[in-house]
Amino acid sequence: MQFIFVIHHGSFPLPGTPGAASISAEERKAVYADWAAVSSLDNVAGGPPLGLPKDATTVRVENGATVRTPGPFVGTNVGGFMTVEAEDLDAAVAIAARIPQARLGGAIEVRIPSKYW
């Protein structure tokens, strides 16, 4: 069964931001090692890097007109996504719990893909 993980970055400092300097080298290595472990699973396929929120452009259509604003959509910072093959929801949740953002102030949404059109 296929699942989509939507990774909400949370409060852990983003790379290249002033807060990133507050993370110790040991903690940074541990986070990167956790990511490497999840990414190396045969049943996980990562999406492309999304880049930093500060570099985003948000697009909306208001009254039929396209409105473009610099920056991310206000609400949550989505840090990325991945697809996962797992036997069932419990197995998918076990993998999601290994993603560092699940314990570092963020969250992982586990979704079942579906066509709406």
Q: What is the pTM of this model?
A: 0.74
Cα 12-13-19 angle, rounded to 5 deg: 135
Rounded CA gap, 59 and 72, in Å? 10
CB atoms within 10 A of CB 98: 15
Rounded CA-CA distance 87/50 in Å is 28
Residue numbers of the domain that contains 6: 2-111
Q: Which helix (H) or strand (E) holds 92?
A: helix 89-96
Q: By the 8 A CB rule, do 7 and 81 touch?
A: yes
* pLDDT above 90 (res 88): yes
Q: Does residue 73 lie in a domain region?
A: yes
Backbone angles phi, psi at 110, to 5 degrees: -105, 120
- Residue 88 included in any domain: yes
> What is the CATH number for 50?
3.30.70.1060
pLDDT digit string (tens) for 39-84? 999 999 988 777 777 787 787 788 888 888 887 776 667 878 899 9
Give the integer Cα–Cα distance in Å for 96 and 75: 21
In a domain, 82, yes or no: yes
- The two tokens of residue 71 are 């920056």
